[in-house]
Amino acid sequence: MATDKLAFIRAELDELAANHLLITIRTVDSPADAWMIVDGRRVLNFCTNNYLGLANHPRLKQAAQEAVARWGVGPAAVRTIAGTTTLHLELERRLAAFKGVEDALFVQSGFNANQAVIPPLVGKEDVIFSDRLNHASIIDGCRLSGAKIVVYEHCDPEDAEAKIREHLPHHRRGLLVTDGVFSMDGDIAPLDRLYAIAERYGVLTMVDDAHGEGVLGRGGRGIVDHFGLHGRFDVEIGTLSKAFGVVGGVIAGKKLIIDFIRQKARPFLFSSATTPADTAACLAAVELLEASAELVERLWENARYLRRALQQLGFDTGRSQTPILPIMLGDAGLAQRFSRRLFEEGVFAMAIGYPTVPRGQARIRVMNTAAHTRADLDFGIEVFAKVGRELGVIA
């Protein structure tokens, strides 16, 4: 009799469910605004990356509509083969100017940006120094390169230096790579100290600023601006899928490196460009941020207000220094129950468990935005207080 080839899948899914790690995806029927329609209910949106409220912004929508009228809906080609539109080039020029770098390359997503950059820079004879909590797309980019991966302790420049001293002499080249803002904890990499160390040993430097773009630095210019390290970091990765409210990734840095990436990056060479509508909407987002820091300031005001209120209630917000606010619960089952009760009370905030965060560190990840009013935040805080007391998380 034939064996059941798919039994392993059923077993694995059963195990995930038993450990409260099965992901259930809710259905959204509205834009990603401060309030959304989710699974048929109107709920307060506390789990979006739409930091500045740009995902449904009239200026971006208008830019996208005009781009469809002028350029059509699809690029229908890879840029290196069938040419690149003036629209994509204009966005890249504006992104480079906004970030204060020599050059920038726009790719389909932040995830793709990491796959695009790392393999051209390092290979089998090289070594990568990677923060323990780096994003999955960095880890996959590192693996793709074939280089040896040496993990240093989270946000620990001393450990990074010790690992560089131990491993660099046995390799051709080194690359140090870190998240800028860590996406599940909301803490900020000590970029100045990491840079100083990498520079001392001649190691290439790269930062993934997905959650810092549009959030940190002057008017949202990102983590390199936050630390005043312009022109120092070799490569800065960013995304236009979060604070910029659209979709896409950016690779920014020295012209020599970006020129090289254009020749070598496989997601750029073998995958179609972003659509005209997306590209034009990204351009409108850059223009909005260049014109005013008001949305970024409102985001931070809201973040400070929410963090203080949740801490005063007795919640453990971990290491957060940014609008990413983890409510540390530990147990994955508790985190799932907490999230479910929040939803029943009208707040949408997801439980995050292994493998997105280490085992035993399950949490609710709260994300506020510039689009939330004070009344929205107060409603959310009240619901957190109620559910927190009910489940015995706070007194």
Ligand X SMILES: *Cc1c(COP(=O)(O)O)cnc(C)c1O
Interface residues toward ligand X, by CB under 6 A: 109-111, 135, 137, 179, 183, 208, 210-211, 239, 241, 249
109 catalytic per annotation:
no
Identify whether 254 is a catalytic site residue.
no
Strand pairing category for 127-131 and 174-179: parallel
The SS3 call for residue 183 is: coil
Residue 78, strand partner residues: none
Pure H helices in 215-348: 223-226, 255-264, 266-269, 276-291, 294-312, 332-344
Edge-to-edge strands of the sheet including 41-45? 35-38, 41-45, 347-348
Closest contact distance (angstroms) between CB of 208 and ligand X is 4
In this complex, which beta carbon is closest to ligand X, that of residue 184 or of residue 306? Answer: 184
Q: Which lies closer to ligand X via its Cβ, residue 103 or residue 131?
A: 131
What six digits make up the tokens of 283?
A: 């351009």
What's the closest the beta carbon of residue 8 comes to ligand X, in angstroms? 29
Closest residue to ligand X, judged by C-beta, is 110
Give the 3-state secondary structure of residue 204.
strand
Is the Cβ of residue 168 or residue 289 nearer to ligand X in the bound state?
289
The helix (run of H) or strand (run of E) holding residue 91 is helix 86-99
Q: Which is nearer to ligand X, 137 or 322 (CB)?
A: 137
CB of 154 to ligand X, least distance (A): 14
Active site residue: 109, 130, 145, 183, which one? 183
Query: Out of 135, 226, 242, 372, which one is annotated catalytic?
Result: 242
Q: Does residue 57 carry a catalytic annotation?
A: no
CB of 241 to ligand X, least distance (A): 3
Catalytic residue among 57, 135, 211, 226: 211
Give Cα separations from 145 to 126, 132, 249 (angstroms): 9, 18, 19
Least distance CB 137 / ligand X (angstroms): 4
User: What are 107's two structure tokens?
Assistant: 């790719």
Q: Report the C-alpha gap between 321 and 215 in whole angstroms.
A: 12
Catalytic positions, please?
Answer: 183, 211, 242
